[in-house]
Amino acid sequence: MTNRGDAGAQALPPSNWNAPNIITVVRICFIPAMLWLLIADAGRDDTARWVAAALFIVAIATDGIDGAIARRYNLITDLGKLLDPIADKGLTGAALVGLAMLGELPWWVVAIVLVRELGITLWRLVELRRGLVIPASRGGKIKTVSQGIAISLAMLPLWIVLGEWVHWLNGVTMTVAVVLTLASGLDYLVRGWNENRGAAGDGAGGLERNDE
């Protein structure tokens, strides 16, 4: 005989305050601390910069852990879907803004990256609300890695150890990251356009349904 109490308990949705969401909240809490440390003493506090870079690297490195845990243990929540992009874009945006405030990065680079990131994220959320998933592309994943590497190198005061040539390396890695950011954004738009055209023709057959 089926226990009605057990069946009801199994049907309950996961709590918003589960491990994946807590990890994401911690990542969000890193953002103001990271920015404050980065711009401390106009960026001349080397110790603060090392710590700021460490916070950024840890937060970026743990991206994906929260999602993996949520999928593995069926802890996916609407709150988690909302918080995860806030953490990702907040970390990237705060780091880029901090570097621009220090005069180490042109503001137009910050604008390009943030417009692309926020635009694509909002578009994917709109599609998600329609019950459709625009999956992350390989180009998007490569872009994320390149951004993480470029920003980490720009934040780390490696010129203390390796010399001034590090600034040249930072410029190269940031240029690659910006190019990949634009290319992956264009790829998303093209795929979205083609898939929506297909969906209009055969009842959303071109997009993957969000059953989660």
CA 101 – CA 95 distance, rounded (Å)? 10
Model pLDDT, residue 18? 87
What CATH number is attached to the domain comprising 158? 1.20.120.1760
Domain that holds residue 198: 4-209
Helix/strand/coil for 208? strand
CA distances from 170 to 24, 48, 52, 180, 201 (A): 28, 19, 17, 15, 47
For each of the chain's 212 residues, which pLDDT tens digit applies?
555 555 444 557 787 888 888 999 999 999 999 999 999 999 999 999 999 999 999 999 888 788 888 888 888 888 887 888 889 999 999 999 999 999 999 999 999 999 999 888 888 777 777 766 666 778 888 999 999 999 999 999 999 999 999 999 999 999 999 999 999 988 888 877 777 676 666 554 444 434 33
Model pLDDT, residue 132? 66
Global pTM value: 0.82
Model pLDDT, residue 207? 44
CA 184 – CA 186 distance, rounded (Å)? 5
Model pLDDT, residue 179? 96
Model pLDDT, residue 28? 95
Quickly list DSSP for 89-156.
HHHHHHHHHHHHHTTSS-HHHHHHHHHHHHHHHHHHHHHHHTTEE-PPPHHHHHHHHHHHHHHHHHHS
Residues 6+ apart with CB under 8 A from 60: 91, 148, 152
- Give the total number of structural domains in the chain: 1
